[in-house]
């Protein structure tokens, strides 16, 4: 059973700002974000933080020394957490870290590569990668170590800053937040199956259909024994270290008793099967906005199509965007296999090459860079080929583009299945597609007027839904209810 203390009162600031999107005069809240490393987590937190800032709230981000300025350049304040804790020798046997790379995202990337997550495994077999008994590189061990290094500073900062709310996008929750007196919310930047964990829905990370339960029972059984059990172990290791109670054995993620947040388009969501609890805040997607203040090249540049690509486009030659995400792009062999297949495609292709840029060979119908401003590219293209990361899926949906999803691991399988079920694209195994299969699928989608119209209409509805502002309003309401 999870024990927690409800807070006694909020700290309200004397200054009051008028929300830019609302006529309501809410008092300014101080909100601190704690995000996992990785572009998907950070972008989701930034997207929500931007909307909360528009509503007049004061936004802080916990940050590491290696990333100083990352959030400040977007207009947020930063609280720098220095990794100065020492891990006991007994813990080193269970907690594996790599100190060769000072960049935190580089460490996470290397952990994922070592863990075999990018290998050609079925979702069922991938559960072994999430089993701490079978995988010495299980990422939970590294997160335990990371949290222990900064836990004391987080606790001290919360005591000094006295925020009204802490929003956490971390697979493990620091005990000083989970059992503290300050209200907190879990931000789920994954497919919402992670948040729901309902027996009415397919198992998390399975990629199984919602309308056919064959395979559910076996997957659920293995999931509980591997991923769920391993995460519980890691959370309990943290809890015991800080003299906090163990977590509920039936839970997967450590959810907040206050409220929880997720982003997923209504057109894809599972609300046709389950009913959301009152303390769940849903929005169509976190979709971060381009900064209007920073001069940083990566974050603030618009995208101009290269002339050699632009001049080739026509009614029959379309524009495609291809990305396997931050981690998927590190699999050079797989990336090159897909690029070689796309070389025979009659259309023009923009390629997000990631950190493997120098190792990849692009054909004449392609343009690629290690970093591309995805939000500026999506409005320009006719089709997106993606790994199925939650941010890319929700952002692509918001611009009304059909997708071919090539899932690699975890919730990407669930997103791929849901997109296919709801008629917004197709899924294909990135490791095992046959020659010409991908190109045929591209042609099929580009000629499917019904699917294209369905995607366009969904994008129009999402952009008009104002769901981020509505989510912020609900967050304010939930906090006010707690105060009363």
Q: What is the mean pLDDT of residues 436-458?
A: 98
Domain co-membership, 316 together with 363: yes
Residue 10: inside a domain, yes or no?
no
Ramachandran angles phi, psi of 49, nearest 5°: -60, -40
Question: For position 69, which CATH number holds?
Answer: 3.40.50.2000
Closest CA to 327 of 106, 144, 41, 43: 106
pLDDT band at 339 (very low <50, low <70, confident <90, very high): very high
CA distances from 425 to 401, 405, 441 (A): 9, 8, 10
Q: Return the exposure string of 444-461: e unless at least 16 CB atoms fall within 10 Å of the residue's CB, then b.
A: ebbebeebbebbeebbeb
Task: Count the neighbouring beta carbons within 10 Å of the beta carbon of residue 311.
Answer: 10
Closest CA to 58 of 80, 29, 91: 29
Least confident window among 10-19, 227-236, 409-418, 427-436: 10-19
Q: What is the mean pLDDT of residues 324-350?
A: 96
pLDDT band at 113 (very low <50, low <70, confident <90, very high): low
Domain co-membership, 75 together with 185: yes
Task: Count the neighbouring beta carbons within 10 Å of the beta carbon of residue 115.
Answer: 18
Domain co-membership, 237 together with 349: no
Tell me which residue has tokens 């296999």: 337
Tell me which residue has tokens 């499917």: 448
Domain co-membership, 216 together with 335: no
State yes or no: pLDDT of 269 exceeds 70.
yes
CA distances from 347 to 137, 302, 342, 375, 381 (A): 40, 22, 9, 21, 11
pLDDT band at 22 (very low <50, low <70, confident <90, very high): very low
pLDDT band at 112 (very low <50, low <70, confident <90, very high): low
Domain co-membership, 325 together with 232: no
10 Å CB burial of residue 440 (0-12, 13-18, 19+) is exposed
Residue 23: inside a domain, yes or no?
no
Query: How many Cα atoms within 13 Å fall on the side-chain side of residue 201?
Result: 24
Q: What is the pLDDT of residue 107?
A: 61
State yes or no: pLDDT of 109 exceeds 70.
no
Q: What is the pLDDT of residue 38?
A: 85
State yes or no: pLDDT of 95 exceeds 50.
no
Q: What is the mean pLDDT of residues 79-99?
A: 54
Most confident of 18-22, 86-90, 218-222: 218-222
Domain count, the chain: 2
Domain co-membership, 107 together with 179: yes
Q: What is the mean pLDDT of residues 204-230?
A: 97
Q: Which residues contact 459 (CB under 8 A, 6 or more apart)?
A: 397, 398, 399, 400, 401
pLDDT tens-place string over residues 282-298: 999 999 886 544 444 45
**What rounded mean pLDDT belongs to the chain?**
88
pLDDT tens-place string over residues 147-163: 999 999 999 999 999 99
Of the chain, the percentage scoring pLDDT greater than 70 comes to 85
State yes or no: pLDDT of 458 exceeds 80.
yes
* pTM reported for the whole predicted model: 0.89
Domain co-membership, 186 together with 314: no
State yes or no: pLDDT of 447 exceeds 80.
yes
State yes or no: pLDDT of 373 exceeds 60.
yes
State yes or no: pLDDT of 124 exceeds 70.
yes
State yes or no: pLDDT of 299 exceeds 60.
no
Q: What is the pLDDT of residue 117?
A: 84
Structure-model confidence comparison of residues 69 and 111, the more confident one: 69
Domain co-membership, 324 together with 245: no
Q: Which residues contact 449 (CB under 8 A, 6 or more apart)?
A: none
Question: Which three-class secondary structure state does DSSP give residue 154?
Answer: helix
CA 4 to chain centre: 27
Q: What is the mean pLDDT of residues 210-235?
A: 97
Beta bridge mates, 165:
31
Residue 15: inside a domain, yes or no?
no
| Range(s) of the domain holding residue 442 | 297-464
Q: What is the pLDDT of residue 8?
A: 31
């Amino acid at each position: 059973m999870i024990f927690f203390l409800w807070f006694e009162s909020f700290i309200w600031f004397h200054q009051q700002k008028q929300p830019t999107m609302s006529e309501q005069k809410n008092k300014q809240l101080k909100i601190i974000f704690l995000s996992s490393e990785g572009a998907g987590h950070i972008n989701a937190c930034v997207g929500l933080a931007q909307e909360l800032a528009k509503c007049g709230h004061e936004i802080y981000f916990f940050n590491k020394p290696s990333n100083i300025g990352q959030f400040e350049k977007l207009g947020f304040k930063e609280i720098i957490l220095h990794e100065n804790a020492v891990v006991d020798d007994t813990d080193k046997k269970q907690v594996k870290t790599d100190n060769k790379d000072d960049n935190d995202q580089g460490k996470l990337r290397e952990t994922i590569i070592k863990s075999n997550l990018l290998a050609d495994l079925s979702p069922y077999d991938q559960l072994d990668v999430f089993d701490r008994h079978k995988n010495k590189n299980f990422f939970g061990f590294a997160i335990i170590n990371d949290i222990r290094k900064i836990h004391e500073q987080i606790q001290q900062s919360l005591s000094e800053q006295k925020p009204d709310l802490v929003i956490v996008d971390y697979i493990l929750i620091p005990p000083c937040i989970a059992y503290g007196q300050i209200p907190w919310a879990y931000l789920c930047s994954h497919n919402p199956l992670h948040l729901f964990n309902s027996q009415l829905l397919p198992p998390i990370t399975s990629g199984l259909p919602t309308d056919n339960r064959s395979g559910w029972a076996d997957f659920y059984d293995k999931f509980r024994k591997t991923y769920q059990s391993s995460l519980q172990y890691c959370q309990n290791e943290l809890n015991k270290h800080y003299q906090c109670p163990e977590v509920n054995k039936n839970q997967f993620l450590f959810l907040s008793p206050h409220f929880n947040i997720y982003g997923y388009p209504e057109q894809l969501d599972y609300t046709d099967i389950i009913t959301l609890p009152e303390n769940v805040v849903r929005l169509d997607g976190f979709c971060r906005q381009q900064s209007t203040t920073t001069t940083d090249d990566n974050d603030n540049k618009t995208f101009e199509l290269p002339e050699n690509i632009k001049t080739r486009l026509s009614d029959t030659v379309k524009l495609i965007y291809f990305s396997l995400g931050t981690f998927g792009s590190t699999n050079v062999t797989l990336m090159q296999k897909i690029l070689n297949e796309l070389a025979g495609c009659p259309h023009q292709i923009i390629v997000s090459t990631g950190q493997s840029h120098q190792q990849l060979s692009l054909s004449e119908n392609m343009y690629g860079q290690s970093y591309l401003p995805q939000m500026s590219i999506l409005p320009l293209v006719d089709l997106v080929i993606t790994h199925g990361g939650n941010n890319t899926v929700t952002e692509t949906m918001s611009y009304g583009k059909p997708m071919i999803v090539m899932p690699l691991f975890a919730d990407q399988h669930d997103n791929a299945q849901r997109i296919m079920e709801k008629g917004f694209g197709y899924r294909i195994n990135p490791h095992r597609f046959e020659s010409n299969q991908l190109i045929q699928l591209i042609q099929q989608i580009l000629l499917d007027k019904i699917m294209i119209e369905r995607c366009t209409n969904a994008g129009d509805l999402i952009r008009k839904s104002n769901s981020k502002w509505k989510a912020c309003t609900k967050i304010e309401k939930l906090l006010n209810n707690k105060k009363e």
